[in-house]
Amino acid sequence: MSSGTNNTKTGAELVAQTIVDLGIDMIFGYPGGAIMPVHDALYIYETQGKIKHYVPRHEQGGIHALEGYARASGKVGVIFVTSGPGATNLVTGIADALMDSVPVICITGQVATHLIGTEAFQETDIINVTKPITKWNYQIRDPREIPCVFEKAYYIATSGRPGPVLIDIPKDMQTAKVNLSEVLHFEIPKESHVIDDNLIREATELINTSQRPLVLVGHGAIISNAHEEIKELLEKGHLPFACTLHGLSALPKAHPNYVGFLGMHGNYAPNKLTNEADLLIALGMRFDDRVTGNLKKYAPNAKVIHIDIEKSKINRNVTATIGINADLKTTLKQLNKYIKFEDRKTWFDRFSELYSIETEKVIKNQTNPAGDNILMAEVIKLLSDITDGHANIVADVGQHQMITARYYEFNRFNSFFSSGGLGTMGFALPAAIGVKLARPDEEVIAVIGDGGFQMTMQELALIAYENIPVKIIILNNGFLGMVRQWQEMFFDKRYAYTNMCNPDFVKLADAYGIKGRRIDSKSQLKDGLIELVQSDKGYLLEIIVQKEDMVFPMVPPGASVEDVILESPNLE
Rounded to whole angstroms, the Cα distance separating 452 from 27 reads 25
Catalytic pick among 9, 135, 152, 171: 171
Asked if 42 and 16 count as a contact pair (C-beta separation under 8 A), the reply is: yes
Catalytic pick among 402, 482, 550, 554: 482
471: DSSP letter: E
Rounded to whole angstroms, the Cα distance separating 125 from 141 reads 14
The pLDDT assigned to 1 comes to 39
Catalytic pick among 36, 46, 50, 122: 122
Q: Give the DSSP H or E segment for 475.
A: strand 471-476
Query: Does 482 participate in catalysis according to the annotation?
Result: yes
Catalytic pick among 1, 52, 121, 360: 121
Give the CA radius of gyration of the chain: 25
Q: Give the DSSP H or E segment for 309.
A: none
* Average pLDDT over every residue of 189-205: 90
The pLDDT assigned to 5 comes to 57
The lowest-confidence range among 31-45, 68-82, 185-199, 273-287 is 185-199
* Average pLDDT over every residue of 395-413: 98
Percent of the chain residues topping a pLDDT of 90: 97
Query: Does 471 participate in catalysis according to the annotation?
Result: no
> Is the peptide bond prior to 469 cis by the omega test (within 30 degrees of 0)?
no
| Domains contained in the chain, CATH given | 8-182 (3.40.50.970), 197-350 (3.40.50.1220), 376-548 (3.40.50.970)
* Average pLDDT over every residue of 387-416: 98
Query: Does 479 participate in catalysis according to the annotation?
Result: no
Closest by Cα among 21, 55, 50, 51 to 35:
55
pLDDT digits (tens, 9 = 90+) for 83-125: 999 999 999 999 999 999 999 999 999 999 999 999 999 999 9
pLDDT greater than 90 at residue 507? yes
pLDDT digits (tens, 9 = 90+) for 534-557: 999 999 999 999 999 999 999 999
Catalytic pick among 13, 59, 145, 542: 59
Asked if 214 and 233 count as a contact pair (C-beta separation under 8 A), the reply is: no
pLDDT greater than 90 at residue 13? yes
